[in-house]
Structure 1
Amino acid sequence: MPHHPQEPDRATSAEPAPEGAAHPPGEDSAQSGPPPRPQATNDQPGPEAVGPASAVDEHAAAVRELEDRWRRALADLDNLRKRHARELERERMVERSRTAAAFLPVLDNLELALSHADADSGAVVEGVRAVRDQAVGVLEQLGYPRHAETGVAFDPAHHEVVSVVDDPDIEPGTVVQVLRPGYGDGDRQLRPATVTVAKRE
């Protein structure tokens, strides 16, 4: 009976394929699969770490910063308003004090004139006139010059007519008499002069 040489067992005696040799199709199909997913590291966050949530956080931080600035601006404005009110009141007090001090010499001279009431009446009149001139000078220094001119043309910005006279020798519209002097000019006018004016034709 002929003897056939026995073939070596492929499962046990197969030698490993040389390195770099191609594997037959199907041998590693059980172990093959999708490539591993790259893992995110601390240095490079994955795509899912950057998204709408981070944008919302940025907007919320910006809103908080704006609100903080707004509150600080309101507080600064309130402090500025209070400081301005205090300074304005202080300036008013200083101005009132300066004005009152300017009139003190006038009062002193009036007191002096009254103390000589029993003396010559002419001297008393002269003293009172001097005090009047002094008071007029104080008002002029404060920016309120006196207006008591006659023979000038009527000016509604400086004159207030209380009566008219018919005088053919005077040009119509001319101030004939000043009943009460006026003080100041333009926006700084304390009062207009009260006058009598020649009648117009």
Structure 2
Amino acid sequence: MKVLNIEYSIALDRINDIRNESIDVFVELGDGFTYVIEVATIKNITEMMEDGYLQPMCPQIIVDELREEIIWRAMKSYAQEDAFWLKMNAMAHTFTNEDLQVKIDETKNFHMELDEIEKKRLEEQTSLIEEVLKKIRLLESGEQFILNDVITNLDWHQINKNQWTLINRKLVQGSKNGLYKDLEVVKTSDDGTVVFRKK
């Protein structure tokens, strides 16, 4: 978003030490709204630190010196991508615990839904592997096969490529680490198809 104008709570040439101060900056953006941003210098922040850390406070934009060209560059940078970070800095003090809790709850619910999806995916994968192992047990010793061969009674078209790859990988790993002792890998083709042998 375009920065239209910047004004200061104090004229920059009246600041005693431009490397050690903080001021309010009024930034007018292309949306027609003027945002109030606190801008502080690195040295000013350092001097405010106690016990090795900065006490809780509203967000600030940090600069090396309170010079106009630096402040303009900083505001233009923060105004990129619809000025999200500039708006966040300016409006953070307006958020209440209730507002934050709404977002926290939304995030919790989102992750719970993801967990359910992952749980279902793992259950489906485990079920498919069990079906594959049942079919493998029916094969003759020394018989070679690929994954598609042993699940002809399943609707293979309903199994997506990721599931197919994961099951193949599980069988390969299991044959190597001894989990599936009656399996061995004969070869793997360029397209990822694995040829197994029933021991």
TM-score normalised per structure 1: 0.28
The structure that has the greater radius of gyration is 1
More strand by share: 2
